[in-house]
Amino acid sequence: MKYNLVGKTGLMVSELCFGTMTFGGQNAGIWEKIGKLQQKEVNEMLSAVIESGINFIDTANAYSFGQSEQLLGQGLIDLKVNRDEIIIATKVLARMNEKPNSTGLSRYHIFNSVEASLKRMQLDYMDILYVHGVDPSTSLEETVRSLNDIVESGKVRYIAICNWPAWMVAKAQAIAHYRGYHKFIGLQYYYAAVSRDIEHELVPMAADHDLAIFPWSPLAGGFLTGKFTREGADADSRRANFDFPPIDKEKAYDLVDVMGEIAKAHSASIAQIALAWVRQQKGVTSTIIGAKSLDQLHANIASTEIQLTASDFAKIDEVSPLPMQYPGWMVERQSAYRK
């Protein structure tokens, strides 16, 4: 397992991050379709994760309405994991109950949510707190200051972002810079060979701001596993029951065909090729993987042994092009005089 620096923080995380969205699922609505692992299976997963060298674990208060955090925390205790050797990340935003202030990125909710997450995980502090998305009802200034203060409290060590537009990330970083607040250190965004939207604005912005990129759903919700072809789909797969995130399925079928050929050349699975593609992309620090079984987990971890060639990347680029968007194509055209 390789370890990469998170921006300029000095913090090092494994090139794979273990996601715990499959933990819990009992009486949790849509989460039951994603995964229902309970404590015994959770502990087995965590043991394999730690043995592999992965030191970065991702969860969220929203996952099964807190069950994922509870199972993760108990698993770390059961396995007697040294707290100083593991990086724990969770998130804030989602509605956890029907009370009016149980959601969003207000100071009130951020502080309450952190306290609740720490209690569920039986931890004194969390290493990374992500804002899980946009709160249109709270000023960005309040959110940035509140995040700074929660870091100053010692209950959170670093802050990061999920699912914000690039302009909002840049604005938040500017607020933090000019007011002397703690800045965001990384971005957790959807990134897969079939969905390369972040390459337009977010990837170059991340490079400019020294932000790490932590891709989620590198298999596009399970579509890039080989279980989905034009001939049919695996009825037991996650996407068969929870068709998310959205993708261009015609392009995805073409991509699966190409990845299947590449997989044969590497004696690997299509899923392993898809994971290797994301892992080797510019700016990517740690790729988030999940699993419903130990076999699936071991296979995903083994993807780190695959190094795609320039020819492999070219074949994938042929079927997963990212159409140039305005003003990108105009910037490229008008910048030519500098070349």
Question: Is cis: bond before 327, omega within 30 of 0?
Answer: yes
Q: How many other CB atoms are found less than 10 A from the CB of residue 95?
A: 14
Which residues are bridge partners to 184 per DSSP? 159
Locate 167 and state its tokens. 């302009």
Provide the 10 A C-beta neighbour count for residue 226. Answer: 18
Instruction: Identify which of 200, 205, 244 has the alpha carbon closest to the alpha carbon of residue 222.
Output: 244
Q: Look up tokens 């995805």; give the residue.
A: 252
For residue 183, the 8-state DSSP code is P
Question: Residues with Cβ < 8 Å from 107, sequence gap 6 or more?
Answer: 142, 145, 146, 149
The position carrying tokens 């701001």 is: 209
Q: Is 220 left (phi over 0), alpha (psi -120 to 50) or beta?
A: left
Q: Please identify every residue annotated as catalytic.
A: 63
How long, in residues, is the chain?
Answer: 339
Amino acid in position 252: A
